[in-house]
Amino acid sequence: MTGQPISFTAPTAPTPPAAPTVTLARAVDAVVQYDGRTLAFDLIALAALFFAVVCWHLTNPLLTFETQFGSAFRNVTLQPVMAIGLLVCAGALIAARRPIRHPVIGAAAIALGLVCVYMVLAIVLSVNLSGLALGVEPALFRERLTDATPRDGLGAALTLSAPLVWIAVAAIIILWQPWTRLSVYTRAARRQWAALLIGVLVLLLWEGAIALFQIQEFLLPRPSVIAAAFGEVYPRLVSAGWNTFQNAFWGFVVGCGAGIVTGMVAARFVGFSRALLPIAIGINAIPIIAIAPLMNNWFGALNPASKIGIVALLTFFPAMISTVRGLTSVDALSLELMHTYAARPLAIFRKLRLPSALPFIFSALKVCTTLSMIGAIVSEYFGGSTAGLGFRIRDDAGLFRYPEAWSAIFIAALYGILFYLVVSAVERTLMAWHVSFREP
């Protein structure tokens, strides 16, 4: 229609490429937004660099057991997660670089892909090519070094594998091309400088005030002291944090999963949900964390089920309430539209109620990430495994090791933030259409 005013909300906004069938590419676009103006792409590139270096450390016991950095990620269940993290981040980088216009970029993508697959194999299945070439037993690459270990062989394997990690790092940087994104950084810096400045000021004031008023270290240590202690103990804390995070994660999965399913059932039967919702909101007001000692009684303090149980209980009600709210607060006209099509209840649920409930569900899930970390840490205060972060905090504080306790709190915050970011990334892929993700 000629003369029709085409009024886009943002005429210059980059629009999704016309490839509706490539759902993987769409998902990557939603999270990474390579052409966008957020720092998500840079965060993923940095994470890929980090994972590459960690994986390199994990493929040789000389680094895993004898360097501080390597020993931080020695935890048996953490190792495969690091490898998969590398694979996911590298995959996102490769997929985001579309179309590949230059042979160097193509080569980098292929090289990175190969290195990542090899790293996963080396870590998960102990297939160590450099070891194989040198005749070192594969099992040795997972074991603590003893006097009987052929150190020279492992050292040679390490030297052999070093070029691989350099290739990976170079490939990531070629795919990332941070020098092309300077405008993004200046924009981000211009937007965020105030927050950065305040952060630095707070740290300086903290440091200065303690020196000036001679506050005792057991009350509040100086940031520089905490940082020094952190440098000493972080390998232990990363591992302890991972153990606690696993409890938080499984509790989150069980609690939110059950909450969403219960919410769906409750929303299906209006009378039921009307009866249930006030009760649920009431229970949600109970400080559930107070039940933690009782949970220890039920499952046994050493059983992770007691921690997972408390987290599940903590996250169940927010997830359920939000699901019921989301599924029942559907736009009336959208519902009438479905009636004009004589749509069956299942079709209405799948095509209308569930998509319009997603924003509600995800805002609950994001709250629950924080709740789950709180639940997992606090439940350890009441006894249980000594390998967790909550135990570390309690123990360090009890023994007047306050800088170490503060370091543990910092690690807890890091895990909480990472958990939140992962859930946000899932939200972005599933709800890229939502108003909150539209380019300004």
Partner 1 sequence: MTPSSIVTAAPIIAIKNLSKTFRTADGADVHALDSINLDIADGEFIALIGPSGCGKSTLLRMVADLIPPSTGTITVSGKTAEKARKDRDYGFVFQSATLYEWRTVIKNVELPLEIMGYSKDERRARARAMLSLVELSEFEDKYPWQLSGGMQQRVSIARALAFEPRILLMDEPFGALDEMTRERMNNELLRIWGAMQGMTVIFVTHSIAEAVYLSSRVVVMSPRPGRIAEIIDIDLPRPRGTETRDLERFFHLTSRVRHALRGGVSGGGMNE
Q: Which residues bind partner 1 (CB under 8 A)?
A: 1, 3-9, 15-16, 18, 20, 331, 333-334, 336-343, 347, 351-352, 355-356, 358, 431, 433-435, 438
Q: Which is nearer to partner 1, 19 or 162 (CB)?
A: 19
Phi-psi region of 3 (alpha: psi -120 to 50; beta: other; left: phi over 0): left
Smallest gap from residue 253 Cβ to partner 1 (A)? 25
Per-residue exposure over 265-296, b if at least 16 CB sit within 10 Å of its own CB, e if not: ebbeeeeebeebbeebeeeeeeebbebbeebb
- Phi, psi (5° rounding) for residue 74? -75, -25
Q: Which is nearer to partner 1, 5 or 135 (CB)?
A: 5
Q: Which is nearer to partner 1, 126 or 356 (CB)?
A: 356
User: What burial class does residue 213 get, using C-beta atoms within 10 Å of its C-beta: 0-12 exposed, 13-18 middle, 19+ buried?
Assistant: exposed
The 10 Å Cβ neighbour count of residue 6 is 6
Q: Which is nearer to partner 1, 219 or 435 (CB)?
A: 435
Q: Which is nearer to partner 1, 185 or 341 (CB)?
A: 341
Of 232, 230, 231, 211, the closest CA to residue 222 belongs to 211
- Chain length of the chain: 440
> Looking up tokens 């200046």, which residue turns up?
186
Smallest gap from residue 224 Cβ to partner 1 (A)? 49
Retrieve residue 317's tokens.
């009600």
Q: Which is nearer to partner 1, 155 or 345 (CB)?
A: 345
Of 288, 330, 310, the closest CA to residue 377 belongs to 310
Helical H segments across 341-388, by residue range: 345-348, 354-381
Q: Which is nearer to partner 1, 269 or 341 (CB)?
A: 341
Does residue 41 sit in helix, strand or coil?
helix
Smallest gap from residue 340 Cβ to partner 1 (A)? 4
Smallest gap from residue 354 Cβ to partner 1 (A)? 10
Smallest gap from residue 433 Cβ to partner 1 (A)? 4
Q: Which is nearer to partner 1, 111 or 330 (CB)?
A: 330
Smallest gap from residue 24 Cβ to partner 1 (A)? 17
Q: How many helices (H) and strands (E) does the chain have?
A: 18, 0
Q: Which is nearer to partner 1, 15 or 183 (CB)?
A: 15
Smallest gap from residue 123 Cβ to partner 1 (A)? 38
**Farthest CA pair distance, the chain:** 83
Smallest gap from residue 268 Cβ to partner 1 (A)? 19
Q: Which is nearer to partner 1, 11 or 287 (CB)?
A: 11
What long-range pairs does 250-253 form, CB within 8 A, spacing at least 24?
A: 250/304, 250/308, 250/311, 251/307, 251/308, 251/309, 251/310, 251/311, 251/312, 251/314, 251/315, 251/372, 251/375, 251/376, 252/311, 252/312, 252/315, 252/368, 252/369, 252/372, 252/419
Question: Rounded to whole angstroms, how far apart are CA atoms 87 and 44?
Answer: 11
